[in-house]
Structure 1
Amino acid sequence: MATFTAEAFQNEYLPDGATDVHAIVRIDASGASQAIASPSGGAGAAEVIMVDTSGSMGERGIQQGSLAATAALQEIVDGTHFAVIAGNHLAWQVYPPAPVPGLAIMDARTRSEAMNAVRGFRADGGTAMGQWLLAARQVFAQVPDSFRKHAILLTDGANEHETPDQLTWAIQSCAGNFQADCRGLGDRWQVDEVRRIASALLGTVDLIPRPEEMAEEFRALMRTSMSRGVANAEIRVWAPQGAQVLFVKQVSPTLEDLTNRRREVNPLTGGYPTGAWSDESRDYHVAVRLPAKSVGQEQLAARVQLALGDDVQAQALVKAKWSNDDALTARINPQVAQYTGQAELAAAIQDGLAAKAAGRDDEATSKLGRAVQLATQAGNDEMTTRLKKVVDIEDPETGTVRLKKQVEKLDEMALDTASTKTTRVRK
């Protein structure tokens, strides 16, 4: 039985006439992985493995892709519904072999058959990831909506064999139907393109530098997915009459803006999808704009809840108190401040790399310099190390940098994919 707790971190004191309230709400889950460990195993879960088999994968990539799919299959718990899709400019179901989309149920026999099937991967054709996603959606449609539905998508190239609008339509068609963790192999794929898929499907994006690293990455991804025993949960934010929810963002372990995914639960409450849960902890940044009040007044600014279906599992309260004491109102909550800084850091990195790719060197230098400054201020040594591979740092405190003349494409991509991973802010 999963148990959830919620806790809010904020400075609830506002100066006279102020309107905006910010809080970090931490949601902790325990016991969420017990369903997977139960006698029924993976019943109620479905997995789809999508592997790029375009011509650019080559013999080495295809061989390692087969091994990666095998590694993932070995991690799927018995009782889980599953399928394997191979994709190039088309998509076809490698296992189970069927004239119509379908899933097999994992056991010793189907695992062996699937492992034999992926040995038949062949490199040929182009890349159309929208086709792969739509094929996965058809497969997932064969199981009830209550199932936990998860996919792994691997590509080694850009989406060159369908238009951007076709990919957008495919992504929108799949959003809310299943989650997908996306991985790019080598340096020929586009981070922003694959990130767009992962973001819409509540998954992660990352770089696999070399084919030989695919199997371990697939194994880890599937192991993590198998630990998620709670399917679709939802953050619900109630705000009082006359208030406006400015945004709801996941800020740990990764940055994800959920604001535009709001669904109306009732006139004062919005629901925001979180996907499946394991035994884990996540942080959410909630901002609410209230009608201005005078000194001495106080108000409940928001109720932030974690809900499974119609059942509320945990709740944290966000409060507002108006004061003329500058010592109280001037304080910035450390959690709010640091996560705001990490969001700015991610934007600076992504904007800087985009400007660099477009040849706007002055803008790239300014943005990446700001990223260095933010990383230094936060003590984020890992991000500073990644930035040093792209810029020469002259003064980290002021963000004075010079673009390196020679930069490995993989180093730029590693920096880009790491930009949305955040460092947990302690209490």
Structure 2
Amino acid sequence: MANFAKSDVPQFSVEVYQNEYLPEGGREVNAIVTVTATGGGTNGGMQSAARTYAQGSGPDAAVVIMVDCSGSMEYPPAKMRNARDATAAAIGTLRDGVAFAVVGGTHVAREIYPGGGQLATADARTREQAEHALRSLSASGGTAIGTWLRLADRLLATADVPIRHGILLTDGRNEHEAPEDLRATLEACAGRFTCDARGVGTDWEVKEVTGIASALLGTADIVADPAGLAPDFTRMMEAAMGKGVADVSLRLWTPVDTEIAFVKQVAPTVEDLTGRRSEAGPRAGDYPTGSWGDESRDYHVCVRVPSANVGQEMLAARAALIVPPPDGGTPTTLSQGLVRAVWTHDMTASTAINPQVAHYTGQAELAHVIQQGLDARKSGDVDGATAKLGRAVQLAGASGNDATAKLLAKVVDVLDVATGTVRLKAKVAEADEMTLETRSTKTVRVKK
């Protein structure tokens, strides 16, 4: 194991924001756990707490770009051309030494570069070769996204690296494989690599693309105009190159008779992690968070504690950031924080809602009511859609989520923000509705 300056390895910190006071008999404790990683992934990010590589001794990351090559990518022809240019731009952003490959996706998956079941190592020569290979990309055939992901998984598995990442682009619905086949693929790939997913144009299914990103702990977004693919791919690859620690889990330990009600990532996006728990010993469970660079994320943890009398206090949960060692031994703890419970007669103290908890509860509700409102709109339920999207406008305004407020204003006419009074627009551009749905889980952070 090579030695590095402390600054080469990302440093993690955990802060807990909560109202620890409960009334007599109170059982529910809510806390916002803020995790911040600094000092890693900014200068080539070659290290992780789980595995460290000497610079020049080998790649620390592997990336597979999956490009939709189905027949619809030729309509209009600029779509395929922009996809080729975007893939070339992403490859141009790779650090020297990073392993990479390009997959062309239709109703089957095929290796575009380098081929032979291998990954190439990024340098001037391989970038030029890859760009040349991209010229052969043409549009024909159907769409079976699961086959693309399984090929990417096989390719990434050949790299002995801590960071494995995919970028997936599609312009259509997954029409040539059963939904359960895609679900099985996502279950098989979860934890093996992360993946950002993008839909180009407006003929793809939002829930499919966001479902892929959610399952594989990546980001999802719409690129309505194909001309925007190159800058978006460049940003995605820059973010991937900034990752320094892989396979980080949020480990929650609770005492006897205490249970975790739910765990949600609430910033920068809302993502329910409750069902992804894996047991980690007595009264402890791990929740996957994926790969980290220089960034900060917030998690809402709700704990149910035993009923207690006034004056009692207890440790309700211990939150720790964990990475597995390469040899399968004892995990490394990067940082930890404590969630407490104190029972009191002071009603002012016990009924106060912590500002961070209140803010993110509202942000989670905002994401939920947007989805409900759009679903109601699609089903023709005008009253239901108006009520839910009106509540979304109210929540976005109250929390200062200006980006979401602007997206909502393209779907409804806002009559009064404070009361959530809105009127559905008679005509809404499909791209605007899909953008709101795709970005509905993006949150704004509370000022602490």
TM-score bin (small chain): over 0.9
Give the SS at the match of 1:302: strand
Residue number among 156, 171, 181 corresponding to 1:156 in the alignment: 171
- Give yes or no for the alignment of 1:130 onto 2:130: no
Q: Which of 270, 294, 304 is equivalent to 1:279?
A: 294
* Identity score, percent: 50
Greater Cα shift, 258-267 or 375-384: 375-384
Residue 374 of structure 1, aligned match among 373, 389, 395: 395
Question: Does structure 2 retain, via aligned residues, the 8 Å contact 1:175–1:201?
Answer: yes
Instruction: State the secondary structure of the residue aligned to 1:266.
Output: coil
Following superposition, the deviation at residue 97 of structure 1 comes to 2.1
State which of 267, 273, 297 in structure 2 corresponds to 1:258.
Answer: 273
Among 59, 62, 66, the alignment partner of 1:46 is 62
In 1: Cα distance, 2:288 partner to 2:224 partner: 31
1:86 partner amino acid: G
Q: Deviations over 1:224-283 (max 9, x none)?
A: 100111111111001111101011111111111111111111121101111111011111
Give, in whole Å, the separation in 2 of the partners of 1:69 and 1:163. 28
Could you tell me whether the CA contact under 8 Å between 1:41 and 1:80 is conserved in 2?
Answer: no
Residue 343 of structure 1 deviates from its aligned partner by 0.4
In 2: Cα distance, 1:96 partner to 1:350 partner = 41
* 1:339 Cα deviation after fit: 0.4
Give 1:394 shift.
2.2
Aligned residue for 1:154, secondary structure, equals strand
Indicate yes or no: 2:71 matched with 1:71: no
Contact 1:41 1:77 in 2 (8 A): no
CA–CA distance in 2 between the matches of 1:102 and 1:405? 52
Cα distance in 1 for residues equivalent to 2:185 and 2:192: 12
Question: For residue 80 of structure 2, what is the aligned residue in structure 1?
Answer: 62
Q: What is the CA-CA distance between 1:88 and the residue it aligns to?
A: 1.2
- Find the counterpart in structure 2 of residue 189 from structure 1: 204
Q: Which residue of structure 2 aligns with residue 21 of structure 1?
A: 29
Give the AA of the match of 1:215: A
Equivalent residue, structure 1, for 2:120: 104
* Aligned-pair CA distance for 1:104: 1.3
Match 2:136 to one of 120, 125, 142? 120
Asked if the contact 2:359/2:446 (under 8 Å) is kept, the reply is yes
**Is the 1:35–1:41 contact (alpha carbons within 8 Å) kept by the matching residues of 2?**
no
Aligned to 2:364: 343
Check whether the contact 2:68–2:104 (CA below 8 A) recurs between aligned residues: yes
Residues 42/413 of structure 1: CA separation in 2 closer, same or farther (3 Å cut) = farther
Q: Within the alignment, does 1:414 sit opposite 2:435 as a pair? A: yes
CA distance in 2, matches of 1:272, 1:41: 32
Unaligned runs of 5+ in 2: 1-8, 47-54, 325-330
Query: In structure 2, what is the equivalent of residue 401 of structure 1?
Result: 422
Q: 1:227 aligns with which of 214, 219, 242?
A: 242
Decide whether aligned partners of structure 1 residues 95 and 211 sit closer, same or farther in structure 2, where only a CA change above 3 A counts.
Answer: same
Does the aligned pair in 2 maintain the 1:181–1:198 contact within 8 Å?
yes
Q: C-alpha displacement at 1:45, in angstroms?
A: 0.9
1:167 aligns with 2:175: no
- Preserved CA contact (<8 Å) 1:247 1:287: yes
Q: Indicate the SS of the match to 2:203.
A: coil
Distance 1:332 1:65 in 2: 48
Letter paired with 2:354: N
Deviations 1:129-178 (A, max 9, x none): 1111111111112123x521001000111111111111111111111111
Q: Measure, in 2, the Cα distance between the counterparts of 1:423 and 1:166.
A: 35
Cα pair 1:41 1:79 within 8 Å, conserved: no
How far apart are the structure 2 equivalents of 1:377 and 1:329? 24
Partner of 1:89: 107
State the secondary structure of the residue aligned to 1:295.
coil
Contact 2:198 2:223 in 1 (8 A): yes
Deviation at residue 111 of structure 1 after TM alignment: 1.2
**Aligned-partner Cα distance in 1 for 2:191–2:434:** 28
- TM-score, normalised by the number of residues in structure 2: 0.92
Change in 2 beyond 3 A, CA 1:6/1:37? closer
Q: Which runs of 5+ in 1 are unaligned?
A: none
Partner SS for 1:281: strand
Give TM-score scaled by structure 1 length: 0.97
1:177 is matched with 192
Per-residue deviation, residues 55-100 of structure 1 (Å, max 9, x unmatched): 11112111111100000000111111111001011110101122xx
Q: For 1:16, what is the secondary structure of its paired residue? A: coil
CA displacement at 1:35 relative to structure 2: 7.0
One-letter amino acid matched to 1:221: M
Judged with a 3 Å threshold, the aligned counterparts in structure 2 of structure 1 residues 180 and 37 are, in CA distance, closer, same or farther, namely closer
Q: Distance in 2 between matches of 1:10 and 1:143?
A: 42
Q: What is the Cα-based RMSD across aligned positions, in Å?
A: 1.3
Superposed displacement of residue 20, structure 1: 0.5
Q: Secondary structure at the match of 1:4?
A: strand
Per mean C-alpha deviation after superposition, the further-off stretch among 14-23 and 32-41 is 32-41
